[in-house]
Amino acid sequence: MSEPFGRRLRAQMERRGPLCVGIDPSPALLSAWGLDDSPAGLERFTHTVAEAVGDLAAAVKPQSAFYERWGSRGVAVLERVIPALREAGTLVILDAKRGDIDTTMAAYAEAYLEQGSPMAADALTVSPYLGFGSLAGTLAVARGNDAGVFVLARTSNPEASALQSAVADQILDGVAEANEGAGGLGSVGVVVGATLDKVGHPLDRLGGPILSPGLGAQGASPADVARLFAGVRRSVLPSVSRAVLADPGRVRPLVERYRDECAERLRD
């Protein structure tokens, strides 16, 4: 890498528009596409989506679990599509939500962020609930490889609200500290769901990007994202998946529609 993830993400969002496309090849979506729930169906789905959006979206976010469920055969699909997406010019955020003790997290970071790894992505989602300090090794590997990290802060699933509300300020403090001196958009971001009624915590001190899943099928609109993140709109990367993946023939036009509306709504 020639420059940090945060700078590359800023450039991508300005060039292509603020939208991340999630690749979530669930059994239900494979069936809707007329594909077998098999490694072959998984690969066809994945590469069809990659070809449709690789030159269009600022970032693409494969959900690792849907590949891991097939063991080595599924992971092999992930190993093939990540470099293909990056070659097409989009950034790859691997949605793995890893969270463990420091040394184990460093190993995960080497697997997913170390350049030269078969699954090297541009950024990784991580969980801070073993303490923000447990991410130290991950952040170090990310910095050394000009990669990014998105830390779970306020997700959209309702059962997480009480726990996450109680510790969100500590997480946001940790992210802000990690971004000190970045000189632009930092490479350590947070995940904040677009379906929340309100965030309830200040985000203007982060210095890094905000990955916001929940567009479309989960109920949030680009207007909701603009309202929720008023004041930090230029740092927000909304993410959409099922709403643009239901019909294999309409993936690209639907992505274009969401991208254009997000760009319009998230202007300063």
Tell me: the pLDDT tens digits for 74-112?
A: 999 999 999 999 999 999 999 999 999 999 999 999 999
- pLDDT score of 66 more than 80: yes
Kindly report each contact of residues 118-122 with a partner whose C-beta sits within 8 Å and lies 24 or more positions away, as own/partner.
Answer: 118/79, 119/75, 119/78, 119/79, 119/82, 119/94, 120/82, 120/83, 120/145, 121/82, 121/92, 121/93, 121/94, 121/147, 122/5, 122/8, 122/59, 122/86, 122/91, 122/92, 122/93, 122/147, 122/148
Q: Residue 152 is encoded by which pair of tokens?
A: 């779970």
The Cα–Cα gap between 58 and 234 comes to 13
C-alpha triplet 264, 267, 268: angle, nearest 5°: 160
Fold of 5-260: TIM Barrel (3.20.20)
Residue spans per domain, the chain: 5-260
For position 12, what pLDDT does the model report? 97
Cα–Cα distance list, 172 to 56, 112, 153, 177, 212 (Å): 31, 23, 7, 9, 15
Q: What is the pLDDT of residues 34-50, one digit of tens each?
A: 999 999 999 999 999 99
| Parallel/antiparallel/unpaired status of strands 20-23 and 59-62 | parallel
Instruction: Please list the active-site residues.
Output: 97
Asked whether 238 and 195 are in contact (CB, 8 A), the reply is: no
End-to-end CA distance of the chain: 29
Whole-angstrom distance, CA of residue 222 vs CA of residue 200: 19
Which of the two residues, 158 and 20, has the higher pLDDT score?
20
Whether pLDDT at 1 is above 70:
no
Asked whether the beta carbons of 172 and 164 are under 8 A apart, the reply is no
Residue 217's pLDDT is: 81
**Residues 168-212 pLDDT 10s:** 999 999 999 999 999 899 999 999 999 998 988 889 999 999 999
pLDDT at site 98? 97
Judged against a pLDDT cut of 70, whether residue 225 lies above it is answered with yes
pTM for the whole structure: 0.97
